[in-house]
Amino acid sequence: MTYFTSLFAGLLFGLGLIVSGMVNPGKVLGFLDLAGAWDPSLMLVMLGAIAVGLFAFVIAKKRVVSFFGEKIDLPTNTAIDLRLVGGSALFGIGWGLAGFCPGPALVGLSMGLPSALIFVAAMIAGMLLFEFIEKIRAPQ
């Protein structure tokens, strides 16, 4: 059942990204261009996502298992540190340069968008670099 619900949630999420225009880098970059031809339409998408997420987290915080019996393991770290701020800045810079973030990029890849392939390859390279650096930093 978990695989089915995960598949359904992923397909619904991907469809929502396509319908909302989040898979179109031009639309995303238009939203981020506050000083130019700003396109505010994605603000409604983001506000809707925040509302759904807020509602879901309020429910999840009161439960120890999901509606399907799986253990709920929410993050407990609330510290705002240099790693969080630095990672957020890198995410924002990448989003602003490419017009993709990871979810829409994977959907775009499944649609055969060449720009998504480039972004996903760079994203994987970044994840591998992060893992390599973490292994070096880990105490022996």
pLDDT in tens, 29-43: 998 888 888 888 889
Q: What is the percentage of the chain residues whose pLDDT exceeds 90? A: 50
Question: In b/e form, how buried is each residue of 79-95, taking b as 16+ CB within 10 angstroms?
Answer: eeeeeeeeeeeeeeebb
Q: Is the pTM of this model over 0.85?
A: no
Residues 94, 42, 37: CA angle, nearest 5 degrees: 80
Is pLDDT of 138 > 90?
Answer: no
Looking at every residue in the chain, the average pLDDT score rounds to: 90
Query: Do residues 25 and 98 touch, judged by C-beta distance below 8 A?
Result: yes
Query: How far apart are the C-alpha atoms of 106 and 122, rounded to whole Å?
Result: 12
Report how far apart, in Å, the C-alpha atoms of 15 and of each of 22, 72, 103, 131 are: 10, 25, 11, 31
Q: What is the percentage of the chain residues whose pLDDT exceeds 70? A: 99
pLDDT digits (tens, 9 = 90+) for 49-63: 899 999 999 999 999
Q: What is the pLDDT of residue 1?
A: 67
Q: What is the pLDDT of residue 67?
A: 82
pLDDT digits (tens, 9 = 90+) for 80-100: 999 899 999 998 998 888 999
